[in-house]
Amino acid sequence: HEGNRAIRVGSWKLVAGGETGPWELYDLKADPTETNNLAGKYPGKTKELAEMWERWNARSVGKR
């Protein structure tokens, strides 16, 4: 959306500003207003969701 990136799986949401901005990870169940970035605390979850986004993006770009 508007050049930003995001993916949501369950209560986890991974977002980033623009194509190169750093990923931010939020647990929407515990933090619905997205005030506590958990990317540093959960690097494995951040990587997992980022890889999921990358796979989705690669498939989506081919459909344009």
Q: What's the rounded Cα separation, in Å, for the pair 39 and 44?
A: 9
Judge contact between 49 and 56, C-beta under 8 A.
no
Q: What is the pLDDT of residue 2?
A: 77
**pLDDT above 70 as % of the chain:** 94
Q: What is the pLDDT of residue 60?
A: 85
Pairing state of beta strands 24-27 and 12-16? antiparallel
- The pLDDT tens digits of the residues spanning 32-52 come to 999 999 999 999 999 999 999
Q: What is the pLDDT of residue 25?
A: 98
pLDDT classification of 63: cutoffs 50, 70, 90: low
